[in-house]
């Protein structure tokens, strides 16, 4: 039998429910929470600040440094071992590369912007959720950005092309599975992340990427809404404080 109905009843192009919030960590320079289905990512931004050790400083521009971490009991699949791993280092690196095209770091030579991404709960799509959260957090920190970055997984489960695969779909054993994390810069349409685990034919890949582009456009609106709500609430608080003086 082919995979003709998704396990959670969604349509092939339907995203899991999304919640996004900005300014969720008080002591960070910028922060955000991004939840898609049962996957929850928190991002905290610190900087720009002096880069140490000094031999890592770049006199031409600032440095972006990302640390991605899944908590040991974060959810679907095997228990994650605490501490760094090859997978977490790889995802940290690709997240940096996905975000760098939208950041203007030329004004901060010898400085570093640190982004910490923590996932307390997971059900697939973790690197994509982390990128979405980090993008909101960078904007919340007031860093100069050309745009935000929106990310989602697309793929093929059996014969079905679908967006936002969950863990049950990634683990589907009755047919081939291709899992493709992708990130877009919405204003330009440029791809800043494209990875793949599995096999997929050329035409199916084209269809999957187009579905991913449309899904990321919807995610982008949610990211912008989170920032608007954050700064609207800040204006209200400041207005209230001014009236009370």
Q: Specify the pLDDT at position 119.
A: 96
Confidence of residue 201 (pLDDT cuts 50, 70, 90): very high
Residue 71 in tokens? 């908590």
Give the C-alpha distances (Å, rounded to integers) separating 155 from 82, 83, 146, 178.
Answer: 29, 29, 28, 5
Position 161 in a domain:
yes
Q: Is residue 185 part of a domain?
A: yes
Residue 216 has pLDDT above 60, yes or no: yes
- Domain span at residue 126 reads 18-234
Residue 12 lies in a domain: no
CATH at 94: 3.30.230.70
243 located within any domain? no
Domains of the chain: total: 1
Percentage of the chain lying above the pLDDT 70 cut? 90
How far is Cα 27 from Cα 172, in angstroms, rounded to an integer?
41
pTM of the model: 0.91
Residue 244 lies in a domain: no
Whether the pLDDT of residue 102 is over 90: the answer is: yes
Q: Name the residue with higher pLDDT: 97 or 159.
A: 97
Mean pLDDT of 130-143: 97
| pLDDT at 83 exceeding the cut of 80 | no
């Amino acid at each position: 039998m082919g995979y003709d109905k998704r396990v959670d009843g969604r349509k092939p192009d339907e995203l899991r429910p999304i919640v996004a919030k900005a300014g969720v960590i008080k002591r960070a320079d910028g922060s955000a929470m991004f939840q898609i289905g049962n996957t929850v990512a928190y991002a905290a931004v610190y900087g720009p600040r002096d880069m140490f050790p000094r031999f890592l400083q770049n006199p031409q521009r600032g440095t972006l440094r990302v640390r991605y971490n899944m908590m040991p009991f974060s959810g679907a699949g095997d228990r994650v071992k605490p501490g760094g791993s090859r997978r977490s280092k790889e995802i940290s690196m690709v997240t940096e590369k996905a975000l760098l095209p939208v950041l203007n770091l030329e004004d901060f030579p010898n400085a570093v912007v640190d982004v910490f991404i923590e996932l307390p709960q997971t059900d697939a799509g973790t690197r994509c959720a982390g990128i979405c959260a980090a993008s909101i957090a960078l904007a919340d920190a007031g860093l100069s950005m050309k745009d935000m970055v929106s990310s989602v997984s697309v793929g093929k489960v059996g014969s079905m092309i679908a967006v936002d695969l969950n863990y049950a779909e990634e683990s589907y054993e009755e047919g081939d599975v291709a899992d493709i994390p992708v990130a877009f810069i919405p204003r330009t349409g440029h791809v800043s992340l494209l990875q793949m685990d599995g096999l997929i034919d050329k035409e199916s890949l084209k269809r999957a990427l187009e579905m991913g582009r449309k899904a990321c456009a919807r995610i982008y609106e949610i990211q912008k809404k989170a920032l608007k709500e954050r700064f609207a609430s800040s204006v209200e608080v400041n207005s209230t404080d001014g009236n009370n003086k």
